Amino acid sequence: MSRTTEFVSLSDVALRAVSGPNSRHAALIEDAFDVLLETPGGGVAVTGDTGGRAMAKRTVESVAGRADSALEVSEADIRVAIGEARGGRTPRTGGQAAQAARAGAAGRGGSLPVGRRGQVAPKTATQARYLSALAESELVFGLGPAGTGKTFLAVAHGAGLLLRGEVERLVVSRPAVEAGERLGFLPGDLNEKVDPYMAPVWEALTDIMGADQLRRRREKGEIEVAPIAFLRGRTLSHAFVIVDEAQNATRLQMKMVLTRLGEGSRMAVTGDPSQIDLVNSRDSGLSHAVGLLEGVKGIGVVRFSGEDVVRHPLVERIVRAYDGETAQASRLA
């Protein structure tokens, strides 16, 4: 099969992003599509067969769009763009995804915050849909495997609402179901007991707000953490509520927490229905709630897949392997 060359014009910023540190990004694209990337000046020359060249070109253009939108470009972004191109979809991981999310937020007069690593923005089309749903719906379910950004983006959206004064509080809750331990056996006050369970949330908030502002807002009560059980009997008004690891909430807990919403409040419920730690997995309230509420006005449901994993590339392969085993077991059942 003949190999020809096609030139893609790029800005200097986009060219640096496509190349990457020590040409690492370019090497990932070359290996993925069996092409050769060269930078003769003003852009990238892509050499390869027709199919590989076309997919590599789409990947380069996606990465360039992200860079030209002043967004960070990491190896995770390169892998996501490669996956989108390989799947036959026009990659929407650069400026288009960011613009879609910003447009959704702009409809409510808001925007995503700027974290320590730059502007927070979606890396995949599903993340863009998720952020749009958070901007448009009062209650959003984000379902999918680890590493897809569902918790981080919910935290980023909630932090943005808090920083802009659109809500008075950010309330984060999750079931206390971890490796058979119970909160009562851990030392310290409530915050000290809960904090280990909330590590991903604190990491996200620290990245967005910085440690000092996070500490001040916690001390003022503007950011609150609580196990789901501690929400019983309360009405959460003018707040953005995040229920994380919701697959470990029972049906009764899920009904209770969903009905805590008060005036001017919004909620994001995140979880992975395939990672239930309850003794009786059929008691999980997440899938049950989605089955009952999907399609109800004001409620959004966004499902992530292994293709949306933006952590280490091995995480996506692990997710796919487990999904394959689950599918095989279902066929044999």
Same domain, 285 and 234: yes
Same domain, 80 and 111: no
**Confidence class of residue 114 from pLDDT cuts 50, 70 and 90?**
low
Helix axes 125-136, 95-106, angle to 10 degrees: 0
Same domain, 222 and 299: yes
pLDDT of residue 290 exceeding 90: yes
What does the alpha-carbon distance between residue 136 and residue 107 come to, in Å, rounded to a whole number? 8
pLDDT of residue 163 exceeding 50: yes
Same domain, 173 and 60: no
What does the alpha-carbon distance between residue 305 and residue 4 come to, in Å, rounded to a whole number? 35
Low-confidence winner among 91-105, 130-144, 202-216, 228-242 (lowest mean pLDDT): 91-105
Same domain, 207 and 259: yes
- When comparing pLDDT for 321 and 194, which is higher? 321
Task: Dump pLDDT digits (tens) for 198-221.
Answer: 777 888 888 888 889 899 999 999
Same domain, 152 and 76: no
Same domain, 199 and 295: yes
Contact 59, 29 (CB under 8 A): yes
Within a domain: 102: no
pLDDT of residue 93 exceeding 50: no
pLDDT of residue 224 exceeding 80: yes
pLDDT of residue 181 exceeding 50: no
pLDDT of residue 89 exceeding 90: no
pTM for this entry: 0.69
Q: How many CA atoms lie within 13 A of 19 on its CB side?
A: 18
Which pLDDT score, from 0 to 100, does residue 289 have? 95
Contact 274, 143 (CB under 8 A): no
State the DSSP string of 241-301: EEE-SGGGSBHHHHHHHHTTB-TT-EEEEEE-TT---SSSGGGBHHHHHHHHHTTSTTEEE
Within a domain: 95: no
CATH number at residue 27: 3.30.1370.10
Look at the chain and report how many structural domains it folds into. 2
Low-confidence winner among 4-13, 88-97, 151-160, 246-255 (lowest mean pLDDT): 88-97
Residue 46 to residues 43, 60, 276, Cα–Cα distance (Å): 10, 9, 45
Which pLDDT score, from 0 to 100, does residue 328 have? 66
CATH number at residue 262: 3.40.50.300
Same domain, 250 and 171: yes
Tell me which residue of 10, 13, 75 sits closest to 44, measured CA to CA. Answer: 10
Contact 99, 105 (CB under 8 A): no
Contact 4, 57 (CB under 8 A): no
Helices (H) and strands (E) in the chain, counts: 13, 11
Same domain, 273 and 128: yes
Task: Dump pLDDT digits (tens) for 242-251.
Answer: 999 999 999 9
Give the E-state strand segments of 101-178 in sequence order.
114-115, 118-119, 139-143, 169-174
- When comparing pLDDT for 90 and 266, which is higher? 266
What does the alpha-carbon distance between residue 18 and residue 28 come to, in Å, rounded to a whole number? 10
Contact 181, 249 (CB under 8 A): no
For residue 244, give its domain range. 107-332
**H/E stretch holding 6:** strand 4-9
Once rounded to an integer, what is the mean pLDDT over residues 119-146?
Answer: 89
- State both tokens at 177: 């179901």
Average pLDDT, the chain: 82
Within a domain: 93: no
Once rounded to an integer, what is the mean pLDDT over residues 141-148?
Answer: 91
Low-confidence winner among 88-97, 118-127, 211-220, 310-319 (lowest mean pLDDT): 88-97
Residue 211, Cβ density class (10 Å: 0-12 exposed, 13-18 middle, ≥19 buried):
exposed
Within a domain: 99: no
State the DSSP string of 99-115: HHHHHHHHTTT--PPEE
What does the alpha-carbon distance between residue 75 and residue 21 come to, in Å, rounded to a whole number? 10
Q: Which of the residue ranges 105-114, 267-276, 316-325 has the most confident prediction, judged by mean pLDDT?
A: 267-276
**Confidence class of residue 180 from pLDDT cuts 50, 70 and 90?**
very low
Same domain, 68 and 131: no
